[in-house]
Amino acid sequence: MIEDDFYATIKLKTGEEIFCKVAPTEEDDRTLLLVSNPIIVSEIKGRSGTVGYKLEPWLKTTTDDMFIINLSDVLTLSESSDIEMIVMYQNYVRQSTKDGNQSKLSRRMGYIANVNDAKEILEKLYKNS
């Protein structure tokens, strides 16, 4: 009997560790995991000793949010009931789907110019130095 969806940390045989929402399914005598918005969680330590977490998409070059993993490719799987981790995950997913995971360019990010304008400015700076 297959259970409902749940949050889990999955350690793959490749060494990758992901956190995601998991929906197990049976197909042709094998168990597959349908994972939703898998992320990699990295711990970041500040100079003052503070600890934070960095959340990144598992696969960075795709816009897909659902993936199928064969259970035979999984080293271990741990269901998560850590409310803080689940809330961080849900906020990340909500934010990435709202933005499309891309920042909009603005003047506050720095000077925006085309190649010809930038080349001209750099040539003037070089000649005047």
Percent of the chain beyond pLDDT 90?
50
Per-residue DSSP letter, 60: T
Fold of 6-128: SH3 type barrels. (2.30.30)
Amino acid at 32: L
Task: For the beta carbon of residue 17, count every other beta carbon within 10 angstroms.
Answer: 15
pLDDT in tens, 35-88: 999 999 998 888 888 888 889 999 989 888 999 999 999 999 999 999 999 999
User: Two tokens at 9?
Assistant: 């940390």
Task: For the beta carbon of residue 35, count every other beta carbon within 10 angstroms.
Answer: 21
Higher pLDDT, 99 or 81: 81
Higher pLDDT, 5 or 119: 5
From 9, 6, 22, select the one nearest 69 (Cα to Cα). 22
Amino acid at 48: S
